[in-house]
């Protein structure tokens, strides 16, 4: 895939036809037309200034809840790196860059004697991803803890966004996708570090026991419908262990898909659509995707 646009000059790394299957948790997907790793805010601003307005822009973190399709991603993929991963305690809050892992934010809060952010240790993604999808786990979600965040627009302007500005909803917000999150501040509550770490250990044990975290998987495939659990509906429809090519519905937690080693992105997506059809036929409930699907299907299909 050769970029159809000139690559901006930045201090960080930028590459043509960049493989993405190496960075996604599913270990599938075609290449990015181009991918950039800006060093800091100034570098990101320079990148955006040099990018033609018509070029599609996609932001990827650690791609823990993302399915990159086999045809790859048109335009420019941006991945924020170390310059956006700083974490620091500020009194009763934790400030973190968008590239910081949620689990590391939870650890920093524990070190600072702050509770209320333990749920972040159960989210296998970055702060930017948590903001983008109002990620949640174990009874709390990003909206419950966020004070405010900073984001850069396509024109290079930096915005400070309050919690209310997001218009958070279940696994989403009302802001649209025309900005790149830079950082966030989370409110904690004073609590002995030992208690916080103990709560985090319970979350880790619960994840280990109930989720296929040591396989090539993503996060929850489908959102929980009102008044129901997606996994229970999937199980009721007889989909536990269902396979399509190298893709399988996890035997451990059937709202997770697993790449058994040879799956394509199409295998995973088609399997999930099969699950959706069986759940609708069995229960009358239409499941909605929680995993973000990006890019083109193989063979040039949209």
Active site residues: 171, 220, 290
Sheet strands (E) in 27-178: 32-37, 57-59, 66-68, 73-78, 87-90, 93-97, 114-115, 136-137, 140-141, 146-153, 158-162
Q: Give me the residues paired with residue 18 across strands.
A: 32
Q: Strand 57-59 to strand 66-68: parallel, antiparallel, or no bridges (unpaired)?
A: unpaired
Cα distance between residue 276 and residue 140, in whole Å = 26
Cα distance between residue 117 and residue 28, in whole Å = 31
Is 26 in contact with 217 (CB distance < 8 Å)? yes
Spell out the alpha helix ranges (H) of the chain.
41-49, 102-111, 127-133, 142-145, 163-166, 193-210, 230-236, 265-283
């Amino acid at each position: 895939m050769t970029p159809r646009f000139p690559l901006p000059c930045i201090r960080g790394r930028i590459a043509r036809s960049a493989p993405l299957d190496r960075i996604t948790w599913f270990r599938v997907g075609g290449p990015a037309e181009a991918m950039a790793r800006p060093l800091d805010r100034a570098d990101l601003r320079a990148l955006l200034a040099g990018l033609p307005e018509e070029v599609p822009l996609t932001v990827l973190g650690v791609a823990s809840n993302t399915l990159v399709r086999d045809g790859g991603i048109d335009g420019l993929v941006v991945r924020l790196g170390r310059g956006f991963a700083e974490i620091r305690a500020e009194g009763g809050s934790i400030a973190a860059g968008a590239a910081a892992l949620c689990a590391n934010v939870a650890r920093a809060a524990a070190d600072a004697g702050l509770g209320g952010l333990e749920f972040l240790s159960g989210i296998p993604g970055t702060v930017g991803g948590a903001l983008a999808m109002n990620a949640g786990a174990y009874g709390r979600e990003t909206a419950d803890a966020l004070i405010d965040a900073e984001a850069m627009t396509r024109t290079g302007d930096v915005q400070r966004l309050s919690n209310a500005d997001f218009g958070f909803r279940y696994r989403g917000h009302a802001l649209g996708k025309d900005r790149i999150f830079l950082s966030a501040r989370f409110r904690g509550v004073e609590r002995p570090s030992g208690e916080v770490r103990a709560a985090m250990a319970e979350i880790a044990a619960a994840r280990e026991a109930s989720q296929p975290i040591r396989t090539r998987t993503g996060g929850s495939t489908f959102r929980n419908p009102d008044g129901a659990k997606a996994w229970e509906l999937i199980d009721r429809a007889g989909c536990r262990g269902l396979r399509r090519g190298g893709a399988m519905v996890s035997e451990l937690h059937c709202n997770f898909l697993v790449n058994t080693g040879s799956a394509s992105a199409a295998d995973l997506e088609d399997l999930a659509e099969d699950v959706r059809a069986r759940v609708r036929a069995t229960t009358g409930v239409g499941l909605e995707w929680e995993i973000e699907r990006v890019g083109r299907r193989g063979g040039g299909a949209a």
